[in-house]
Amino acid sequence: MKKTFLLAVVILAGAGCFAAHAKRYFDLGAPVSGPAEPAFDRTLLIDRPYVEGIYDDFRIVYRLSPTEVNYYAYNFWAERPTRLVRNMIWGRIVAQGRFRRVDLEPGKEPAEWMLKIKVFRIEEEDQADRWFGRLAMAFEVFDVATGSVIAARAFDRVEPLEQKDPGLLAGVVSRILADEFDAFLRELAAKSK
């Protein structure tokens, strides 16, 4: 009887340890629907984003110092950042009806404009008193026919997480990406007139 009880306690304790380390997966925010300004009477191809090597991984990067890169063992992106970023931008543009057509792959009818995306950092930065989300990127739209750059924007933003929880990183990164991409579209509208 004692052996059975002890075995049950060991099994339950072990199960509790495994449950405490369940894997969690995070996606970037949902697109905002409804018409948005500015709208462009153009077709757009969203090129496959370039993501700096250490960040194009399912594992979420966090830093304890500027030179130390760490990966979470139980917190992951739902897809590689290459796809997460591209899908969020595509979904946002399509839901808002900003372009006549938006492609993720070249089609029979070539797009008039191409959007290039570069991700330099997508990470959590941990300090003793507070954690932060960091996103550093660049956008560039160019005319496919002429190859000329119409507009470009680069940014490196750091925003605090409400609490020390890696689960909040995706929300902060989504907000930064949405804000900066909308600002880029306003710049694109001003330069493409």
Domains in the chain, CATH or no CATH each: 26-191 (3.40.50.10610)
What local confidence, expressed as pLDDT, does residue 40 receive? 92
Query: Among 98, 126, 64, 122, which residue's Cα sits nearest to residue 192?
Result: 98
47's CB contacts (< 8 A; 6+ apart) are: 114, 115, 116, 117
Note the pTM of the prediction, 2 decimals. Answer: 0.85
Q: What does the block give as tokens for 106?
A: 């070249």
CA dist., res. 143 & res. 9, Å (int): 67
What local confidence, expressed as pLDDT, does residue 39 receive? 85
106's CB contacts (< 8 A; 6+ apart) are: 45
Count CB neighbours of 177 within 10 A: 24
The helix/strand/coil state of 134 is strand
Q: Which residue ranges of the chain lie beneath pLDDT 50?
A: 5-10, 12, 15-18
What local confidence, expressed as pLDDT, does residue 15 receive? 47
